[in-house]
Structure 1
Amino acid sequence: MKAYLFLAAVLGLAATGRADAQQPAPVPAAPVAAAAPVADDSLAAAVGTNYLDHTIRGFGKAEITGPDGKTHVVWIPVNLMGFSKYLPFHRHEEDLKRFGREPFSIDVDKVQSIKVNGLYQEHMVLKGKRKHLIATRVVNGPVELFNYTEVVNTAAAMAPVAGMAGGALMGATGLGGFPERQWFLRRAGEDLVKVGRGDFVAQMTAYFHDDPELLSVLNAGQLHYRDMVKLVQGYNEYRTRPAAK
């Protein structure tokens, strides 16, 4: 379906009571569960917790913009980690209160941006190609930082927990896996850039070349891939100092 048919798709899904050819995406049982994997680092600290307010069964009222630039209001899961493949949604608040009512879903390629409960989320487009995922902006300023996190299941994470009936499984994060993060950067007027792991120091040294303090810390090995929030916040603070050029 072409991008300009976004609204027709939403209305059609609601009218027919099904998601046509699309399969419903998994919906977090509660906003706290969605946020748990990122609570152990600076993501939650950077964003705060206000995005968990004003939700109904983990859904919040969202303003969604399609690639055609048209804006629509629906209810979606409030999820700090972002979305891939499909975005679950309800058209009306009343639908959330109806027992057993399943959400519809729409392909994330038909969504350009989301504003929900103070969060800004955007479809990642690199070199003109859509990455089929919606990431959350965790730092705003001269340089924006976006993050998409996916919980990856591993054999180690799914080890049996002693004392639990039936040898129940429990992941290292409490959700059956560990958080695998993707970071994206953007300066005003420039395209998105994905942060690499293997060439992290070289890439970040080039990207933040005008901040000598940051370069010193990077080259000393004191900042790593997991420290992107701290890195971007530090650079933005440098760029907004009165003496910065």
Structure 2
Amino acid sequence: MKASLLRITMLGLVATGRVCCAQQAPPAIAVSTASAAPMVTAPLVADDSLAAAVGTSYLDKTIRGFGRAEILGPDGKTHFVWIPVNLMGFSKYLPFHRHEEDLKRFGREPFSIDVDKVQSIKVNGLYQEHMVLNGKRKHLIAKCLVNGPVELFNYTEMPQPLLAPVAGVAGATVMGTAGLSAPGLSGFPDRQWFLRRPGEELVKVGRGDFVAQMTAYFHDDPELLSALNAGQLHYRDMVKIVQGYNEYRTRPAAR
């Protein structure tokens, strides 16, 4: 069933940063029916590596996979709505329900807001932020996995189901593996990592120049540099890398 999706109309600009606001009643939100777009619903749970990094407690206070979120919009105001709770982040559109009772109504489709109109999200202990590189929005919202001297953000694009034609049945398809490691999937999760030091801009972690980039970024940690140059740490190990560096920087003897 294809449903028309509505966007929140939010105007204005707000500087990049975190804003903590007290709980309050949901403000009135203007909604526009123009330029409706198909909703992109994110997975409700993360793959094992991300779940291992933060646990699964963020799923405790959910209704049908949705949690009550505090969203900072570009109008500088905080809005409270219900959104899908996941570790993957959001790209293009963020689905939402205005009220808890809407989640319990059979067949009620969520509204949708362009992620460019979302500055940050707090939901069930998770902090997510719109990624801005060199002053340009990347049109995705990523999860902050690690806090400390260096923050680590992640956005993960999950593989799509792979459909194969059924022999002898015109127009029929079936979900298959096509020789891939994950049944019914068209590939592996595509992770994007982002780093940030206090007072500095976001930095996207590259794949091709990974060792050189990380060696320069974490140049003051000799143990980490040794592991990187020995090929013991890779792109997929960013949580371990940043956690290890932050531990080194917070040691009493660290300089």
Match of 1:12 in 2: 30
Match of 2:213 in 1: 203
1:130 is aligned with what amino acid? R
TM-score, scaled relative to structure 2: 0.81
Structure 2 residue runs of 5 or longer lacking an equivalent are 1-8, 15-27, 165-171
Match of 2:144 in 1: 137
Q: Percentage identity across aligned positions?
A: 74
User: Which of 165, 169, 176 does residue 175 from structure 2 map onto?
Assistant: 169
1:63 aligns with 2:70: yes
| Structure 2 contact 96–111 (Cα < 8 Å) conserved | yes
| Structure 1 contact 209–215 (Cα < 8 Å) conserved | yes
2-side partners of 1:19 and 1:79: how far apart? 27
> 1:186-197 maps to which residues of 2 (within 5 A)?
186-197=196-207
Q: Name the structure, 1 or 2, with higher relative contact order (CA <8 Å, separation 6+).
A: 1
Structure 1 segments of 4+ aligned residues over 6 angstroms from their partners: none
| Structure 1 contact 24–104 (Cα < 8 Å) conserved | no
Match of 1:83 in 2: 90
Give, in angstroms, the shift of residue 5 of structure 1: 9.1
User: Which of 104, 107, 111 does residue 100 from structure 1 map onto?
Assistant: 107
Give, in angstroms, the shift of residue 21 of structure 1: 1.6
2-side partners of 1:159 and 1:22: how far apart? 27
Structure 1 stretch 222-231 or stretch 67-76: which is displaced more? 67-76
Give, in angstroms, the shift of residue 94 of structure 1: 0.6
Structure 1 residue runs of 5 or longer lacking an equivalent are 161-165
TM-score, scaled relative to structure 1: 0.84
Question: Which protein is richer in helix relative to its size?
Answer: 1
1:169 is aligned with what amino acid? M
2-side partners of 1:87 and 1:189: how far apart? 28
* RMSD across aligned positions (CA): 2.5
> 1:207-222 maps to which residues of 2 (within 5 A)?
207-222=217-232
The alignment covers a number of residue pairs equal to 226
Give, in angstroms, the shift of residue 3 of structure 1: 3.3
2-side partners of 1:231 and 1:206: how far apart? 13
| Structure 1 contact 84–133 (Cα < 8 Å) conserved | yes
2:162 is aligned with what amino acid? M
